Structure 1
Amino acid sequence: MFTELCNKIFDQSIADYHLHNSVNQPILNPYEKAAIEHLLYLKNWIDTVQWHLEDIIRDPLIDPVKALEIKRWIDRSNQERTDVVEYIDSYFLEQFRTVSPLANASINTESPAWAIDRLSILALKIYHMREEATRADASAEHREACQRKLDILLDQRNDLGAAITLLLEDIGAGKKYMKVYKQMKMYNDPSLNPVLYAKS
């Protein structure tokens, strides 16, 4: 199943990141650029770096200049994440280009790639909740509470994986159809953000 491939690559990306555990380390994507695996690894790497940036920026003693630098980094990361999601949807549009939707075909609330985006974030939640559930310097109560949360996250990943699999099967059978809307983010566009175009 495609979701099993996703989970495998997301776990690989997270493990690779934590070999050095630094937001400044370069990505070493092991997959060929033309392969969907390359996009999945890139997608999760962006999410993983951003996860740790979000931790860093919440330090109450962080230097305000450093915080602004990280906030802008997170903004760039969000744009990159959106771009990669759209590339993944382009892959699916190509996969299903010969499928003719049935007369009663319906559209899903989100595209396959945006559902896979949630699967990537779930992989990160699972990794870090597992860390907390096994943290040697934490109390037994903390570990037990985190284990209960981990069990829910694992169940959620199974459910989301099953839903994505069904969505892909339905698109392939013509029961659902894909319609992808580009994320028309306005705040990054100098011609659409009034703060930016007022200065030009």
Structure 2
Amino acid sequence: MISAIANPIFQRAIQDYHVYDQIDHPIQNPYDKQSLEHLLYLKCWIDTVQWHMEDVVRNPAIDPKDGLYWKRRIDESNQYRTDTVEYIDSYFLQKYQDIEALPSAKINTESPAWAIDRLSILALKIYHMEQETLRSDATEVHISACQNKLNILLEQRMDLSQSIDELLTAIESGEKYMKVYKQMKMYNDPELNPVLYTSGK
């Protein structure tokens, strides 16, 4: 089951990042570059770095110039994240390319990789919510509230993991089929963003 592979990799990526807890610390992906595991680790590393960028940019005292700098880095990271999700979907498309869909087969509301994307983000929420429950400077009320939220997040991970596994099983059996749409983001494309393609006029 893919969730049994993905969840430990996500946890490892998050823990590896927090050894140094520095946005620009180089990634040291331990998995073979041709493997799905490599893509999963990369995906969660990108998410973890971006999580901390989002923390920085939300500082109410941030200098506007610094805020713009981080906003642009977040945009760049979002594109990198999207590209990586599409690489993961390409892996599944290749893996299931010879599967013949049943006449009754249905398409899913999202592709496997975009569901895995949510699982990666959920791993980050779980990590950081757990950190809140371990704070020595927080009140009991705060810790209790965070523990309740953590319990819900853990339940959500179980449900989402099961749903992803069931989706891939259904694709393997021909009960569902993959159909992937490229994100076609417009804001980074100088041919599609009017602010960019009119700026040189």
TM-score by length of 2: 0.98
Match of 2:127 in 1: 127
Alignment of 1:113-152 (within 5 A): 113-152=113-152
Matches within 5 A, 1:6-155: 6-155=6-155
- Secondary structure of the residue aligned to 1:18 is helix
| Other structure's SS at 1:187 match | coil
- TM-superposition CA deviations, 1:140-181 (whole Å, max 9, x none): 000000000000000000000000000000000000000000
Q: Return 5+ residue gaps in structure 2 as ranges.
A: none
For residues 147 and 32 of structure 1, the distance between their equivalents in structure 2, rounded to whole angstroms, comes to 36
Q: Encode CA deviations 1:81-140: one digit per residue, 9 max, x unaligned.
A: 000000000000011011000001000000000000000000000000000011111000
Question: In structure 1, how many angstroms separate the alpha carbons of the residues matched to 2:188 and 2:68?
Answer: 16
Q: Secondary structure at the match of 2:47?
A: helix
Q: Deviations over 1:50-101 (max 9, x none)?
A: 0000001111111111111100000000000000000000000011011000
The secondary structure found in structure 1 opposite 2:100 is coil
Indicate the percent of aligned positions where both proteins have the same amino acid. 62
CA RMSD, Structure 1 to Structure 2 (Å): 0.6
Q: Separation in 1 of the partners of 2:28 and 2:76? A: 19
Residues matched between the structures, number: 200
Give me the whole-angstrom Cα distance separating, in 2, the residues matched to 1:60 and 1:105.
50
Q: Distance in 1 between matches of 2:48 and 2:85?
A: 15
The alpha-carbon deviation at position 38 of structure 1 amounts to: 0.5
Give the Å deviation of 1:32.
1.0
Moved over 4 A (4+): none
What TM-score does the superposition give when structure 1 sets the normalisation length? Answer: 0.99
Counterpart CA distance in 1 for 2:168 and 2:60 is 44
